[in-house]
Amino acid sequence: MRLTPGAGRVLDLEHVDLFDLDLYTSGDPHSVWDAMRETAPLHHQVLRDGREFWSVTRYDDVCRVLGDHHEFTSERGTVVTHLGVDDVAAGLLMTSTDPPRHTQVRRAIGARLTARVVASWQDRIRQSIVYFLESALDGGSWDLAEQSLRLPAIVTGPLLGIPERDWDELVQLTAMVTAPSDPHFQHGSEAATLAIAHHELVTYVTEWVKRRRSAGSEDGSLLDHLMGVRAGDAPLTDEEIAYDGYSILLGANVTTPHTISGTVLALIERPEQFAKAQADPSLVPNLVEEGLRWTSPACNFMRYATGEARIAGGTVPAGGAVVAWIGSANRDESRFTDPHEFDVTRSRNRHVAFGFGPHYCVGAPLARMTLRIFFEELLRRFESLGLDGEPEHLRSFFIAGLTHLRVVAGKRKTP
């Protein structure tokens, strides 16, 4: 997805297709969202097959849709690839479950992912990132976008209890879920790609649980922890564990790699921002937050109106699908000064890249720490960053990311 919008132009929003994959691969969605925030903050679209949805693009409206589960439920599906087909995992998968059950499961999982807990992992994560960056130290061309897809597995695989031999397969499967129309990951049709990936991921976790129960041992991993989670008065069923394990695997492999590649691209395009961050390491946390806002890798989430809902100056009928555009909310002029400027010194940065409300990303502390360590080590090791060819964007209207970003890095003399 083009992260810097082009010159302003007149748009016919009645004929804009927000499900046009070319808009995200080679087009300019931010110009579309800018126009929608200004003139159509509640936008209605009917697809050729008759499915329909309403879009909200302003920051406050996005937060309301994501934050109020009484008005906008998660239990029919939360990603646009499910539009028109109720999620079969509703009520079982944590991300497709409303409070109070969602809160019970989330609290148990979140206890293992607090900022205090993940801080104890930072030395091992730093070692993993240093190892990851070594392949770029020879000064040759290095495809950061392609390589960074594996970074979350390197970092979180041991924490989840997943052996290294399985990392590449799981990275491929999670990419198939998030970008089933991208030629790098597609197997047959989009529907077939999704079906294969969902089945393989859920089966993987199901078999993992069976082996662990049969062995009668625990290794303290996060997936082991899931086996002891209780919702209300009952433990999670094996099916619920499989779905939530699938969700954790998916979340671990979505945000971090695309934030990394998109932020590095922003720094390459703005060498003065790279220089500022390199000169002042205390700016790295700011850089991370600006990178999250700028890239907004999970660029939308979906909810369904439980009843007729008045929002953004219009009405969504009961049962209507509402898509909350994260990528637009994070460029809302009413919330962010100069929103289309990438600024590593930005201090007021309450972005919603990790979502908002009950479903705020449970892994956000781990993702933030991983990104902070990555950019600390990147800035410490490299004097300069340059492009070797045009970036290639992910073909997806759900995930804003890159499939290829060939980088040439100049090594610092005194790391």
Check residue 375 and give its pLDDT.
97
3-state secondary structure of 406: strand
3-state secondary structure of 323: strand
Q: How far apart are CA 342 and CA 376, in angstroms?
A: 18
Mean pLDDT of 172-177: 88
Q: What is the CATH number of the domain that holds 381?
A: 1.10.630.10
Check residue 34 and give its pLDDT.
94
Is residue 125 domain-resident?
yes
Identify the residue with better confidence: 309 or 109: 309
Number of domains in the chain: 1
Is the pLDDT at 10 greater than 70, yes or no? no
Check residue 90 and give its pLDDT.
78
Highest mean pLDDT among 139-148, 222-231, 385-394: 385-394
Q: Which domain holds residue 280?
A: 13-411
Is residue 41 domain-resident?
yes
Is residue 105 domain-resident?
yes
Which of 112, 200, 98, 120 lies closest to 161 in space, CA to CA?
112
Continuous segment of H or E residues that includes residue 211: helix 190-215
Residue with tokens 């999620």: 87
Check residue 337 and give its pLDDT.
96
Q: Where are the beta strands (DSSP E) in 81-219?
A: 141-143
Check residue 7 and give its pLDDT.
59
Q: What is the pLDDT of residues 324-383, one digit of tens each?
A: 999 999 999 999 999 999 999 998 899 999 999 999 999 999 999 999 999 999 999 999
Q: What is the pLDDT of residues 110-156, one digit of tens each?
A: 888 899 999 999 999 999 999 899 887 777 889 999 999 989 888 88
Is residue 149 domain-resident?
yes
Is residue 8 domain-resident?
no
Is residue 208 domain-resident?
yes
Among 121-135, 178-192, 207-221, 288-302, whose mean pLDDT is lowest?
A: 207-221
The residues, ordered by sequence, that sit 6+ positions from 305 with a Cβ below 8 Å of its Cβ are 71, 72, 316, 317, 318, 319, 320, 322
DSSP-assigned states of every residue in 155-199: HHHHHHT--GGGHHHHHHHHHHHH-TTSTTT--SSHHHHHHHHHH
Is residue 178 domain-resident?
yes
Is residue 1 domain-resident?
no
Is the pLDDT at 11 greater than 80, yes or no? no
Among 13-22, 236-245, 298-307, whose mean pLDDT is lowest?
A: 236-245
SS3 of the chain: helix, strand, coil, percent, to 5 = 50, 15, 40
For residue 324, the 8-state DSSP code is: E
Determine contact, residues 378/127, Cβ cutoff 8 Å: no
**Mean pLDDT for the chain overall:** 90
Is the pLDDT at 303 greater than 90, yes or no? yes
The residues, ordered by sequence, that sit 6+ positions from 38 with a Cβ below 8 Å of its Cβ are none
Check residue 127 and give its pLDDT.
92
Is the pLDDT at 402 greater than 80, yes or no? yes
Determine contact, residues 177/166, Cβ cutoff 8 Å: no
Which of 366, 89, 74, 353 lies closest to 222 in space, CA to CA?
366
Check residue 217 and give its pLDDT.
63
